């Protein structure tokens, strides 16, 4: 990659009033020792405690700290997207605001970026979370994501990651897709440019975790969307067309058989096969038309205006374009 001049650290936070001042001090100490310019971008995702006040105090004292305040809670994906949109560094590093990620791992992430990788993902090898509610569902999800997307890393859920800015800014984040960023990044760069390194992980001391086992169901539903996005985003007709052809044929052959019986004098009006074959034919035609509509929507998606999945109430230490 080109010479690394500036690093942006993006941190989505929600109700982390105790953690924010401590994290800032740790980050500042690490970043000041690096031979690069830097900025710290906190994205307050509609906190209801004193997180906003803590961030405003920090931003007033340090112009290298940007604070993006959301009008309400939009979720971690939107917060991540906002931080990346406002980032001006050659490399963007993301991390959690709960002190479980360690800023001292940042130089190691940057070393991998300098080696030529586009995405460096942290792996919480010795994860300090509950085994049943957090670690087990995470292992199952990571295995599924790797098999379906082709990007096999151990820890998709680790927020501590580094991205080349010109790569990650081509990835659009919506819904709750932040956990799939390495898989999404593989649509704009080679999987050989994605690497994983072990990072430290600390138990949460202050505040409450925002995640539970219920998140597993969201991960599974999003996973199939990512699979479709990677395989068929630019050609959805290939997915719907093949499915439509299969359904159409499943209905066409039995229907042809029934027509033959009718022409030879047999009664077919009371046969369930008639209804089933017609349903399959109609479903096949519907899949074909869905594929055509999807092709049109895909073109609208690529050609429409650039809309953001969040609303910013105020931005501190940010130059308006």
Length of the chain: 321
> What tokens were used for 62?
């340090």
| Reported pTM | 0.72
Do β-strands 161-164 and 312-316 pair in parallel, antiparallel, or remain unpaired? unpaired
Cα distance between the two ends of the chain? 27
Q: Which of 131, 134, 109 has its CA nearest to residue 122?
A: 109
| pLDDT value for 165 | 93
| pLDDT value for 180 | 82
Range 6-232: architecture per CATH: Alpha-Beta Complex (3.90)
Which positions of the chain have pLDDT values less than 50?
Answer: none
Q: Are 41 and 83 in contact (CB under 8 A)?
A: yes
Domain locations in the chain? 6-232, 236-299
Read off the pLDDT of residues 21-79 as tens digits, 9 standing for 90 and up: 999 999 999 999 999 999 999 999 999 999 999 999 999 999 999 999 999 998 888 89
Q: Are 96 and 80 in contact (CB under 8 A)?
A: no
- Torsion-angle region of 15 (φ positive above 0: left; ψ -120 to 50: alpha; else: beta): left
User: For residue 25, what are the CA distances in angstroms to 16, 101, 192, 285?
Assistant: 15, 14, 35, 61
Q: Please name the residue ranges forming H helices in 162-271.
A: 165-168, 181-185, 215-232, 236-263
Let me know the angle formed at the C-alpha of 73 by 69 and 75, rounded to the nearest 5 degrees: 105
Helices 51-61 and 19-32: crossing angle, nearest 10°? 30
């Amino acid at each position: 990659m080109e010479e690394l001049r500036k690093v942006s650290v993006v941190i989505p936070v929600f109700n982390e009033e105790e953690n924010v001042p401590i994290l800032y001090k740790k980050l500042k100490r690490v970043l000041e020792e690096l031979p690069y310019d830097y900025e710290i971008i906190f994205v307050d995702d509609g906190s209801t405690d004193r997180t906003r006040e803590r961030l405003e105090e920090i931003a007033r004292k340090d112009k290298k700290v940007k604070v993006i305040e959301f009008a309400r809670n939009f979720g971690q994906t939107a917060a991540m997207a906002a931080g990346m949109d406002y980032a001006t560094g050659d490399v963007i590093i993301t991390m959690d605001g709960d002190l479980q990620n360690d800023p001292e791992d940042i130089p190691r992430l940057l070393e991998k970026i300098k080696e030529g990788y586009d995405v460096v993902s942290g792996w919480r090898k010795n994860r300090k979370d509950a085994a049943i509610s957090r670690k087990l569902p995470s292992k199952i999800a990571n295995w599924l994501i790797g098999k379906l997307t082709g990007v096999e890393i151990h820890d998709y859920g680790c927020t501590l990651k580094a991205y080349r800015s010109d790569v990650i800014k081509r990835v659009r984040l919506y819904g709750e897709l932040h956990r799939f960023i390495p898989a999404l990044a593989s649509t704009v760069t080679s999987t050989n440019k994605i690497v994983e390194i072990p990072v430290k992980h600390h138990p949460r001391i202050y505040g409450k975790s925002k995640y539970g086992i219920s998140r597993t169901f969201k991960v599974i539903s999003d996973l199939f969307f990512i699979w479709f996005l990677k395989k068929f985003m630019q050609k959805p007709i290939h997915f719907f067309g093949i499915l439509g052809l299969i359904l159409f044929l499943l209905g066409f052959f039995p229907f042809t058989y029934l027509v033959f019986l009718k022409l030879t004098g047999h009664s077919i009006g009371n046969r369930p096969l008639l209804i089933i074959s017609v349903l399959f034919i109609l479903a096949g035609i519907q899949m074909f038309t869905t594929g055509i509509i999807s092709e049109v929507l895909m073109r609208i998606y690529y050609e429409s205006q650039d809309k953001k999945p969040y609303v910013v109430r105020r931005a501190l230490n940010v130059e308006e374009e």
